[in-house]
Amino acid sequence: MNLLKIGIICYPTYGGSGVVATELGKALAKKGHHVHFITYQEPVRLDSFHQNIFYHEVSSLDYPLFHYTPYESALASKIVDVVKFEKLDLLHVHYAIPHASSALMAKQILAEQNIHIPFITTLHGTDITLVGRDPSYLPVVAYSINHSDGITSVSSFLKEDTYRHFSINKHIEVIHNFIDFSRFKKTNKEHFKKAIATHGERVLIHISNFRKVKRVEDVVQMFKSVIKKIPSKLLLVGDGPERTNVEMLCRQLCINEHVRFLGRQDAIEDLLAISDLFVLPSETESFGLAALEAMACEVPVISSDAGGLPEIQIQGITGYMSPVGDIESMATNAISILENEDTLKQFKANAYKQALNFKIENILPKYENYYELVLRTATPEYSI
């Protein structure tokens, strides 16, 4: 495998696509590739210096005429600059909107200067299942995907959903998300657990960006049923538009003394280390990286059966999946895991074993091989 100079374009935020993009970049840098992040802020997970990682901030001139700052144009211009002066071999954009169209624009600008740069678009989820299919974005999203030199998706579900809703005439390579076990592994935080569950209660946890698609209110409703049978605490981690509604619901259900809102947390592995069950009842979930991270920390998962979750969950082994909105069966399944110590231990062990299948050592070569394939196809003069 040649060492490459790769531009990674992503959202720098807590969301799953930004996390995947950053962790992928860090792993590529460890292998000797030069990785250039191009985004409007330093990525959240880019938490340490690495000699092979570079960061280029996209800044855009604001002007009173603009109702919206044209980030797409500023991003395309920055990509042109970085490709040209850092002599990048390849661009890898994560989340199609607006990254794929910015990369396409930059590619066309550079081609006129006889600089040919292929770009790969990785589809992550709501860029296809929710936002991307809105008429305000669909034509541009479909066009920029079709004019990508390579396309990957984080699950088979998302690949099929893309073909179902967009007229895509190209192959989509499925490369699942991954776990870096040097970061995600079970650690002993018993002292911390005692601070949260002072009487040895079970700990349930939900981590998300509290958007409607996550159905966080279903987490609270199922917890209300669980707590009737099993002394438990609920940790709600993250923040977003639905947080206030969820806080109000906890008060209405008179369970707020058993629920802790922890807001956005960087060290989620410490919270997972004290948890007994991860709950993710999403309306749609192209993969469910948060669920896989929980499993890597030996936490079984109660989830909906939406989207790509059946590609990581094994029913009755790593946890249970229920139809979206089926709060009763989620509660019943949670109780069946939590009520017996040996059962809980078995599910924890199963969850960890399944997570190992997604360790980054298994997934990184798939991206590297795909880079080679795209480079050979898009730039015939490229040689290994």
Q: Distance between CA atoms of 321 and 319, rounded to whole angstroms? A: 7
Of the residues 52, 284, 350, 354, which one makes contact with ligand GMT according to CB under 6 A: 284
25 near ligand GMT, judged by CB under 6 A: no
Q: Which amino acid is at 31?
A: K
**Coil vs helix vs strand at 57:** strand
Instruction: Give the nearer residue to ligand GMT in terms of CB position, either 66 or 71.
Output: 71
Interactions with ligand GMT, residue window 94-153 (CB under 6 A): 95, 124-126, 129
Of the residues 103, 106, 154, 268, which one makes contact with ligand GMT according to CB under 6 A: 154
- What's the min distance (Å) between Cβ of 179 and ligand GMT? 12
Residue range at the interface with ligand GMT (CB under 6 A); choices 140-148, 162-170, 283-291, 364-372? 283-291
Residue 113: how many CB atoms within 10 A of its CB?
10
Number of residues forming the site for ligand GMT (CB under 6 A)? 20
184 near ligand GMT, judged by CB under 6 A: no
Of the residues 24, 100, 104, 213, which one makes contact with ligand GMT according to CB under 6 A: 213
The alpha-carbon radius of gyration of the chain (Å, integer) is 22
303 near ligand GMT, judged by CB under 6 A: no
Q: Which amino acid is at 347?
A: F
Q: Distance between CA atoms of 22 and 196, rounded to whole angstroms? A: 31
What DSSP state is assigned to residue 138?
H
Instruction: Give the nearer residue to ligand GMT in terms of CB position, either 52 or 101.
Output: 101
Residue range at the interface with ligand GMT (CB under 6 A); choices 38-46, 138-146, 178-186, 281-289? 281-289
Closest CA relative to residue 54, chosen from 29, 79, 75 = 29
- What's the min distance (Å) between Cβ of 35 and ligand GMT? 18
Q: What stretches of the chain show up as alpha helix (H) in DSSP?
A: 16-30, 71-86, 96-111, 126-129, 138-146, 156-165, 190-196, 216-229, 243-252, 268-272, 289-296, 327-338, 341-356, 360-378
Positions touching ligand GMT (CB under 6 A) are 15-17, 20, 95, 124-126, 129, 154, 177, 209, 211, 213, 284-289
